[in-house]
Amino acid sequence: MAVSPLFIVFTALLGLTCAQQQQALLDYLERRLTVIEDRISLWHDQTNRYAGELREFKQQIVSLIENAEKDRETLRTDMENTNTRVDRLEREMDYLETQNPAPPCVEVDDKLVEQQVTKVKEKNKRKYEKLTDCRDMISSIKAMKILKRLGGPKGTWTKDVVAENQKVYVFNGTGQTTLYEFSTGRELAASPGLSRAKHINLPFPWGGTGHTVYDGHAYYVKEGNEFQVIKFDLQNETVVDSAVFPAEDQVPVYGLSPETYIDLSADEEGLWAIYATKENEKNICLAKMDPKTLDIEQMWDTPCPRENAEAAFIICGTVYVVYNTKLPSRSRVQCVYDVSDMVTNEDAPLVYFPKRYGSHSSLKYNPREKQIYAWDDGYQILYKLNMKKKLEV
Ligand SMILES: *[C@@H]1O[C@H](CO)[C@@H](O)[C@H](O)[C@H]1NC(C)=O
Ligand SMILES: *[C@@H]1O[C@H](CO)[C@@H](O)[C@H](O)[C@H]1NC(C)=O
């Protein structure tokens, strides 16, 4: 059995006198107090040491964090430098490409080229009678404005090319029936989603992204293999005319946009159709249409290849085909065809579009505003153009 020291002290005290007892007790208590004091001072020392260690630890952590911050800063600067270098490289590449434009036609043997050229010349021989005196051609892109992100990756938006109103039309997707009309572009920009739009229900779904709005009517190609062009009155919301597009064995007109077979496009001269057929599979064809009757007035084979084309637009009877790559990079106008032979590929500037999100699913030129309504991966973008005059031949 364990015996407490106090018990021993008391047992020892029993044999002593009262004064002796008191003295012994005092001595004992003093010894105990000394021991306790020693312990307290030991604790005190330990606590101090711990506090010191904690302080040191904290300092270490702080300096570690500071170092990490510094490293991050260095990394960020490095990345910025790299970005700048990549940008510069891109600009240099653009410049080089401007100096040595890629030839639009490659790997075709001479005889074939001769045959094709003769054929094209035959077909394109008839002189085009211009309806207007417009002589504008694009010289560069002056500004780009991202108006909104609304809808899916592919679609079309445009203003009426002729009518003097501010209405903006949105065709979301590549096979739908609801057309959205906003009273102005500003209204579109301010609208939460499509909430401020008037919904216009079309009787047939459209196919692809090749629609246009011209003089109060929507012109679009009905979804399916029939390639029926529909003319739809936007005022009383009725189909006023329709016609099967008279080309055989059609193929998607732009290599990078498989949904679009016919791209209806309008400019100062009126209504055009950009399309492609199996017969001249490598290149894009052009047709002038009568907006009143949907009759085809004249057709051309252009020298512009379908391969790597993403979209096109027309200004004053000149078609500008825009090319990209499968993994979207910078879009550029790399082939032009002028029905009145005033602009050749050589005197057309190689126009690069500013860097964007994906690739253009549609480009719609507005002659009154001299700007292009573009749909890029769901973004509605405006490109303001610098124009110059076509040279007289
Ligand atoms: C737009 O079309 C896409 C399909 O391309 C669809 O997923 C999306 O819901 C549509 N957006 C609106 C607002 O209708
Ligand atoms: C709609 O307006 C057009 C003229 O733009 C007219 O030819 C057509 O008959 C009208 N349709 C209806 C249902 O009112």
User: Given the CA of residue 216, which atom of ligand 2 is nearest to it?
Assistant: 5
User: Are 9 and 17 spatial neighbours (Cβ–Cβ below 8 Å)?
Assistant: no
Distance 151 CA to ligand 1 centre (A): 5
SS3 7: helix
- Per domain, the residue ranges of the chain are 1-100, 119-389
Distance 236 CA to ligand 2 centre (A): 6
Give the strand pairing for 379-389 and 371-376: antiparallel
- CA-closest residue to ligand 2 atom 9: 240
Distance 376 CA to ligand 1 centre (A): 14
- Token pair 């065809």: residue: 337
Q: State the ligand closest to the CA atom of 233.
A: 2
Q: State the ligand closest to the CA atom of 240.
A: 2
Distance CA 302, CA 120 (A): 8
User: Given the CA of residue 178, which atom of ligand 1 is nearest to it?
Assistant: 14
pLDDT given at position 107: 46
Ligand 1 interacting residues, C-beta cut-off 6 A: 151-152, 172-173, 193-194
- CA-closest residue to ligand 1 atom 14: 151
- Sign of torsion, CA 348 350 356 362? positive
Closest of 370, 382, 358, 140 to residue 256, by C-alpha: 358
Positions of the chain with pLDDT lower than 70, given as ranges: 1-16, 94-125, 392-393
Ligand 2 interacting residues, C-beta cut-off 6 A: 233, 236, 238, 240
- CA-closest residue to ligand 2 atom 8: 240
What secondary structure letter does DSSP report for 254? B
- Start-to-end CA span in the chain (Å): 126
Written as six digits, the tokens of 361 are 């699913």
Architecture of domain 119-389: Beta Barrel (2.40)
Distance 239 CA to ligand 2 centre (A): 8
Amino acid (1-letter code) at residue 133: D
- CA-closest residue to ligand 1 atom 3: 152
Distance 171 CA to ligand 1 centre (A): 10
Give the strand pairing for 228-233 and 198-201: unpaired
Distance CA 372, CA 313 (A): 8
- CA-closest residue to ligand 1 atom 13: 151
> pLDDT tens digit string along 80-109?
888 888 777 777 776 666 666 554 444 445
Distance 30 CA to ligand 1 centre (A): 90
Distance CA 338, CA 340 (A): 5
Distance 238 CA to ligand 2 centre (A): 7
> pLDDT tens digit string along 56-87?
999 999 999 999 999 999 999 888 888 888 77
Pocket test for ligand 1, best of 149, 172, 188 (most atoms within 8 A of CB): 172
